[in-house]
């Protein structure tokens, strides 16, 4: 195994990407996407190993898509698990009770978009809706204009930020869905999430931990009861949900192998090989007998129409092409989920990021890695992760000070500044279809090809 690691390390280091550029890449959290000739395919499989939404993938073909701002990350240093957030959520509940008692807010008919500069009779209803929740200031005007003017645009932006939507400043499909959840339902959602936060606070909360909130698609690293880092994350698809767990981060694996799950091998890898016999060679995926560390089997010797998945296992070699990226965060748990890097950096630019098979992909993961390891010998100063990557040498770091990690599910909460936040109920755990919301047309098109499992 040692000689194999050495050989792989040499193969990795000879790539220019892992020499001079990786120090900068680690600092920014952006590593290049692989560019193979087959990247034009629309198969979801390419998207897992770094092709499907890359620079040459289907997401980049056709007309150029406009980039929109994301306003989904929380600000400030107050953790979700805090008395401050709990009190702010309690205040939000009281506020929404008053809204409900006053009759709630009007529905804004869709689905045709309302854009800045439009004259539309629905704008009067939109103004009333946005004023009800404080996104638009009160008006003393007797006459309500039909124009979607600058005031409306700013109010829609405020609303989109509070709901974790792309900041398009227009009333698009996703914004209609969020606008038209009733006040009574939003009140129920706040009450439910208040109980969730309260329950977690009643359990032991360490003074240093990582929390991943799946429906908010973000992670916060907390120390001495203050948030020190926040990261966007990619969570599990509806079919492979990121579970709610408590675990412990035990260490880091640099240049990890990806052990292809049996389900992925059976339903996606093998069918792909029947169509494209050279595929695994190009993606540095090898076959082994009996176990992932067993005797290597020649790809040409496998009968792809009769594969015994109890005997044949597939494993992807380390490198910038690897589905796990360049680092895996080791956190043993019964659900076999973990956090890791990804070659698919562009997916962090999406507002809705439910693309994985349950594991959590972390944006700018090397920054998180340095925070996790900063109390380990030799990791006290920033830059060690970049040095490891620049060396190209595989490294497994076991922590002497393990870090607790919580995967949770919070879709509504109050902030200390009085802002009330909502997120899509991506796994239908809040119990109402309306909470799941919707993506706008452009957002819905981009994940094309993400049909099945991914790490």
DSSP 36-54: -GGGG---HHHHHTT-TTS
For 179-195, the pLDDT digits (tens) are 999 999 999 999 999 99
| Dist CA 201 CA 403 (whole Å) | 18
76-95 average pLDDT score? 98
18-40 average pLDDT score? 36
287 phi/psi in degrees, rounded to 5:
-110, 145
For 309-355, the pLDDT digits (tens) are 999 999 999 998 899 999 999 999 999 999 999 999 999 999 999 99
pLDDT at 446: 55
What residues pair up with 258 in beta bridges, in sequence order? 316
Quick one: DSSP state of residue 375?
T
Contact call for residues 312 and 39 (beta carbons, < 8 A): no
CB atoms within 10 A of CB 326: 29
pLDDT at 448: 53
Contact call for residues 169 and 116 (beta carbons, < 8 A): yes
Quick one: DSSP state of residue 66?
P
pLDDT at 32: 35
pLDDT at 404: 98
Polymer length in residues for the chain: 455
pLDDT at 189: 97
Task: Write down the domain spans for the chain.
Answer: 2-71+207-257+317-412+440-445, 83-188
Indicate if the pLDDT at residue 60 is higher than 60: no
Q: Which helix (H) or strand (E) holds 198?
A: helix 183-202
CATH tag for 2-71+207-257+317-412+440-445 (out of 3.40.640.10, 2.40.440.10, 1.10.150.120, 3.40.109.10): 2.40.440.10
Contact call for residues 408 and 213 (beta carbons, < 8 A): yes
Instruction: Name the pTM for this structure.
Output: 0.83
Mean pLDDT value across the chain: 85
222-250 average pLDDT score? 96
Which is the CATH superfamily of the domain at 83-188?
Answer: PGBD-like superfamily/PGBD (1.10.101.10)
| Dist CA 240 CA 319 (whole Å) | 25
Quickly state the pLDDT bin for 436 (edges 50, 70, 90): confident
């Amino acid at each position: 195994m040692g000689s194999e690691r050495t050989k792989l390390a040499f193969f990795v280091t000879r790539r220019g990407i892992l020499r001079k550029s990786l120090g900068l890449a680690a600092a920014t959290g952006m590593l290049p996407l692989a560019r193979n000739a087959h990247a034009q395919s629309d198969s979801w499989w390419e998207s897992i190993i770094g092709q499907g939404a890359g620079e040459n993938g289907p997401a980049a073909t056709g007309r150029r898509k406009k980039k929109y701002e994301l306003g989904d990350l929380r600000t400030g240093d107050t953790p979700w698990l805090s008395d401050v957030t709990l009190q702010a959520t309690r205040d939000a509940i009281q506020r929404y009770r008053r809204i409900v008692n006053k009759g709630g807010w009007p529905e804004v008919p869709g689905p045709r978009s309302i854009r800045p500069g439009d004259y539309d009779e629905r704008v009067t209803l939109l103004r009333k809706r946005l004023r009800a929740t404080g996104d638009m200031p009160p008006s003393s005007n007797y006459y309500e204009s039909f124009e979607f003017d600058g005031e409306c645009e700013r109010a829609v932006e405020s609303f989109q930020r509070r709901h974790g939507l792309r900041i398009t400043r227009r009333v698009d499909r996703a914004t209609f869905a969020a606008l038209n959840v009733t006040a009574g339902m939003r009140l129920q959602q706040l009450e439910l999430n208040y109980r969730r936060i309260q329950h977690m606070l009643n359990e032991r909360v360490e003074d240093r931990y990582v929390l991943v909130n799946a429906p908010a698609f973000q992670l916060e690293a907390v120390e001495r009861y203050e948030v020190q880092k926040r990261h966007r994350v990619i969570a599990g698809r509806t079919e492979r949900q990121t579970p709610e767990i408590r675990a412990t981060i035990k260490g880091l694996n640099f240049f990890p192998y990806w052990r292809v799950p049996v389900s992925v091998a059976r339903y996606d890898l093998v069918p792909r090989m029947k169509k494209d016999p050279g595929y695994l060679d190009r993606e540095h995926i090898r076959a082994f007998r009996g176990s992932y560390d067993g005797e290597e089997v020649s790809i040409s010797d496998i009968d792809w129409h009769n594969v015994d998945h109890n005997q044949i296992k597939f494993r992807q070699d380390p490198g910038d092409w690897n589905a796990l990226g360049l680092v895996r965060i080791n956190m043993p748990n019964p659900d076999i989920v973990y956090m890791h890097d990804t070659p698919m950096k562009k997916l962090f630019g999406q507002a809705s990021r439910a693309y994985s098979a349950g594991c959590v992909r972390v944006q700018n993961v090397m920054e998180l890695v340095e925070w996790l390891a900063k109390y380990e010998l030799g990791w006290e100063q920033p830059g060690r992760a970049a040095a490891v990557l620049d060396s190209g040498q595989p490294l497994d770091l076991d922590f002497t000070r393990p870090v607790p990690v919580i995967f949770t599910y919070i879709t509504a909460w109050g902030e200390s500044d009085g802002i009330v936040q909502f997120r899509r109920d991506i796994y239908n755990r809040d119990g109402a279809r309306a909470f799941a919301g919707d993506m706008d047309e452009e957002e819905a098109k981009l994940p094309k090809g993400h049909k099945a499992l991914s790490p």
